[in-house]
Amino acid sequence: MGADGTELTAIRDFVLDLKPESMTVLMGPSGCGKTTLLRIIAHLDDRFIGEVEFPNDARIGFMFQEPRLLPWRTVRQNIELVAAPSFTADDLDKLAHAVGITEMLPRYPLELSLGLARRVALARAFSTRPDLLLLDEPFVSLDEKTADRLRRLLLEVWSARPTTAVMVTHNAREAILLADQLVLLAPRPTHVAAIETIDVPQAERDPKMIEALHTDLLERFPANFSGL
């Protein structure tokens, strides 16, 4: 559905297999329906024809493009409100320590910088002990240093508790750093252009290797990687 109320076909003939406990990264140009796809997977959007073979009651952790915290609840309350029943106060403190927001727990979100708010959103997403983790360009509009620190944090928390994850981004290096399975999308109506598998564990990917992979992909899929 377009902004003017007319129906749009954002995505067509789209089949995606997610491997359990792996990170699938969807990469494509802006406006190619990546966010719509995540919303469909999360059962937030039912105006589509097709099937999502994922139970409706599955626990989901969702990191949006903006932190989307409740400004009238403290950081701790923001996490507690959505946390899984088995998630104890002790777990919360550990997770807060892991993402570096321990001092922020009694504060309100309006007092936090964007980088800190994103950390809280990250902690919140993991506090549900999700069956499925959805990440919608979670590190966009941060400076590169902060974004990189947050990516490492995400990897750390994610490796501690491997979860089936789908991430959407248009940042090529971010995609190469994080993906087990890299899905390249072609624009409207969106379809899969190619699926690349990266076998090296994320922790072992150094900048040199990421650059090499990037150059390689740039040669083979200039449409997806040029200008990024």
Residue 64 sits at the vertex; the CA angle it makes with 61 and 65, to the nearest 5 degrees, is: 155
Span near another protein by CB under 8 A; candidates 25-33, 74-82, 187-195, 214-222: 74-82
Whole-number minimum distance, CB 134 to another protein, in Å? Answer: 8
When computed from its CA atoms, the radius of gyration of the chain, rounded to whole angstroms, is: 18
Site for another protein (CB under 8 A): which residue of 93, 103, 111, 216? Answer: 111
Site for another protein (CB under 8 A): which residue of 52, 81, 160, 223? Answer: 81
Instruction: Kindly state whether residue 219 participates in binding another protein, applying the rule CB under 8 A.
Output: no
**Window 142 to 171, contacts with another protein (CB under 8 A):** none
What is the side-by-side order of every strand in the sheet holding 23-27? 60-63, 132-136, 164-169, 23-27, 181-186, 191-197
Instruction: Kindly state whether residue 49 participates in binding another protein, applying the rule CB under 8 A.
Output: no
CB 121 within 8 A of CB 75: no
Pairing state of beta strands 164-169 and 23-27?
parallel
Query: In which residue are the tokens 């980088």 written?
Result: 115
Span near another protein by CB under 8 A; candidates 18-26, 70-78, 145-153, 158-166: 70-78
Instruction: Kindly state whether residue 62 participates in binding another protein, applying the rule CB under 8 A.
Output: yes
**Window 128 to 147, contacts with another protein (CB under 8 A):** 128, 134
Joined together, the tokens standing for residue 89 give 């106060």
Length of the chain (residues): 228
Site for another protein (CB under 8 A): which residue of 73, 129, 149, 173? Answer: 73
Instruction: Kindly state whether residue 3 participates in binding another protein, applying the rule CB under 8 A.
Output: no
- Element housing 68 (H / E): none
Instruction: Kindly state whether residue 82 participates in binding another protein, applying the rule CB under 8 A.
Output: yes
Residue 183's φ and ψ, nearest 5 degrees, are: -105, 120
Residues forming contacts to another protein in the complex (CB under 8 A) are 39, 42, 44, 57, 59-60, 62, 64, 66, 68, 70-73, 77, 81-82, 108, 110-111, 124, 128, 134
